[in-house]
Chain A
Amino acid sequence: MAVIEVRDLYKSYGKTVALRGASFSVPSKTVAALLGPNGSGKTTTLKILVGVLKRDRGDVKVFGFDPWINGVEVRERLGILHEKPIFPGDVKVKVLLKYLAKLKGYSGNEVERVARITGLVKYLDSRVKGLSRGYLQRLGLAQALIGDPELLLLDEPTANLDPLARREILRLIKSFQKELGVTILVSSHIIPELEEICEYAVFIKEGIIVDYGRLEDLSKKYFTEVSYRVVVEKPRELASKAISFDFVKGVEVEENSIEIKVKAGRVSELADFLESSKDTYGVRKVEFVRAELGDLYERAVAGT
């Protein structure tokens, strides 16, 4: 079931058209990337989804509600980290989070919980203005996690962060999906970051959704390189056999699995090979790992 449904969405700021007939959906329990260059309409889309911007026309449904009309019902179930969030500097972190938690009907225990998840416990008694850029971003994530939301919207979560802080934030986002099982829509223009965490993509360019869907399906559609993890009883043997095929670009051996990178458009050959050698090597499970998101984006955009 789709958590987010957007159909034919238009939004302008005066003479500037930000969205021109955008349509996409995001299924439940998915980590989705909203990918596009700066100024393509990502932030506008997220603000419409949260109900702080009014669309000019089109249909928007989040959890089946129109966020502009039933904003409270929508925002009770989602958390959002805005791009460059503005926090009141003169307030203590704990106090700010306490008020925000109260708006969702939660007590101080919830503040402790989100502070623990985001590594903010040490800074609860600090004033917001004393936090570094990285910790401000953690505060942004902490407030978005209040109330255990079913949907997380993250707008450029790693923007303006140093490499270390960027890695930490990405690690946190990965853990949210794994441990909390939430649906996440991350907007970014930095492709490698999204590749690490997403399984679904929405490509946007100049206010138009170019394509959207599961990365596995998109990579089949656009013939891009993909990686699969094969859980197997004899990983080394399977790896040495696999590397001999010209449709395999690379193999990485793990404890009881191998990751196979397949050349663009040749997934069916891998499927045939694995099917034929199922019993020989004890193949138990094959799962999609990642696709070359950059390639996918370029091909999707080139097709428009």
Chain B
Amino acid sequence: MKGLLRGLKKTSLARIATYFSYAHYRVFLSVLTVTSLMIFMHTAILIFMLPPPFSTGPFLAPIIALTSFFYVFVIVYLISVFTSELSTGGALLFLSFPLSRVEYVFSWILNSVVAPSLLYLLSIAIPVAVIDPTLVLNISGVEITLAVLEMTAVGTVIFLLSLITKNRKTALSAGILLYLVVPYLGLIAFSYFKYSLKIDLSNTPVFWVYEALYPYKAGLFTYGSVSWSYNLAFPTAILIALILAATLFYSKYRLEVV
């Protein structure tokens, strides 16, 4: 771990920025198109579904549920571009330049997971600012934070799986499974146990794992019984940090490009 951190310290921000801007340049149009579409959708929905002033609850839930369902495809697509660059030899060109494996992979995490998650956040913030900046007071920061963290956490897991397998199909199937199948199946299962079988799983390790990976959906499930605060974000933040460390560790010591 020490060696990895020392390696990270040595990495040049300039090189990460250069490669990030190149990778972003290649996918800029598709990301811009989807983000613009999101801004348009969020504007339209916000106009018709304004939350009550100073709300602290998950009032954005219908909006986030609808638009994030589409937006996660951007993340999955970008991770699959990364995977195909690794498996088809495109990565070889850049890794033959003074760009370390850690810098290369870190640039792609920024490009495929972090940047789209932040753009999603922006796609909500822009309509709010355009419609009426005072609307900011109506929207719970916790809710948006949890939603964006959830998108990032799942993205990093898919990224790590894709990095290890170097397989585009893995990126696509893990993306669909972890973004669109597992969270909803999980919610259905937890609800079934809670309401039909009268067994509350919210204090079991299974739920803790679910909560760390899907803090927003877990928050919606426990809403009312658990207070809606930034504390809900900590396990997810720790999970993201751990996955990130594992990804960079793998890149430094194991990643080979054939």
Min CB distance B79 to A, Å, is 17
Residues of B within 8 A of A47 (CB): 257-258
CB of B90 within 8 A of CB of A52, answer no
Nearest residue (CB) in A for B88 is: A86
A88 interfacial contact with B, CB 8 Å: yes
- Cα-based distance from A82 to B90 in the complex (angstroms): 11
In chain B between 84 and 105, which residues have their CB closer than 8 angstroms to a CB of chain A? 88-90, 92-101
B256 interfacial contact with A, CB 8 Å: yes
In chain A between 72 and 97, which residues have their CB closer than 8 angstroms to a CB of chain B? 72, 75-76, 80, 82, 84-88, 90-91, 95
CB of A103 within 8 A of CB of B92, answer no
CB of A75 within 8 A of CB of B98, answer yes
B9 interfacial contact with A, CB 8 Å: no
Residues of A within 8 A of B15 (CB): 103
Residues of A within 8 A of B99 (CB): 72, 75, 103
Residues of A within 8 A of B97 (CB): 75, 100, 103-104, 146
In chain B between 79 and 135, which residues have their CB closer than 8 angstroms to a CB of chain A? 88-90, 92-101
Nearest residue (CB) in B for A76 is: B98
B22 interfacial contact with A, CB 8 Å: yes
B48 interfacial contact with A, CB 8 Å: no
Nearest residue (CB) in B for A103 is: B97
CB of A71 within 8 A of CB of B101, answer yes
Min CB distance B245 to A, Å, is 19
A interface, over-half SS = loop
CB of B94 within 8 A of CB of A103, answer yes
Residues of B within 8 A of A100 (CB): 93-94, 97
Min CB distance B230 to A, Å, is 39
A-B pairs with CB below 8 Å: how many? Answer: 69
Residues of A within 8 A of B2 (CB): none
CB of A85 within 8 A of CB of B89, answer yes
Min CB distance B236 to A, Å, is 33
CB of A99 within 8 A of CB of B18, answer yes
Annotate B8-20 by CB proximity to A: 1 below 8 A, 0 otherwise.
Answer: 0000000100110
Min CB distance A41 to B, Å, is 14
Min CB distance B118 to A, Å, is 23
A50 interfacial contact with B, CB 8 Å: yes
Residues of A within 8 A of B90 (CB): 86-88
Nearest residue (CB) in B for A77 is: B98
Annotate B213-235 by CB proximity to A: 1 below 8 A, 0 otherwise.
Answer: 00000000000000000000000
Residues of B within 8 A of A84 (CB): 89
Residues of A within 8 A of B25 (CB): 91, 95, 99
CB of A52 within 8 A of CB of B95, answer yes
CB of A72 within 8 A of CB of B100, answer yes
Known: A53-B258, A54-B256, A103-B18. A86 touches B93 (CB 8 A): yes
B26 interfacial contact with A, CB 8 Å: yes
Residues of A within 8 A of B101 (CB): 71
CB of A52 within 8 A of CB of B26, answer no
Cross-chain pairs A/B with CB under 8 angstroms, 15 sampled: A50-B96, A71-B95, A71-B100, A76-B98, A82-B93, A85-B89, A87-B90, A91-B26, A99-B21, A99-B22, A100-B93, A103-B94, A103-B97, A103-B98, A103-B99
- 4 nearest A-B residue pairs (beta carbon): A86-B89, A99-B22, A103-B97, A76-B98
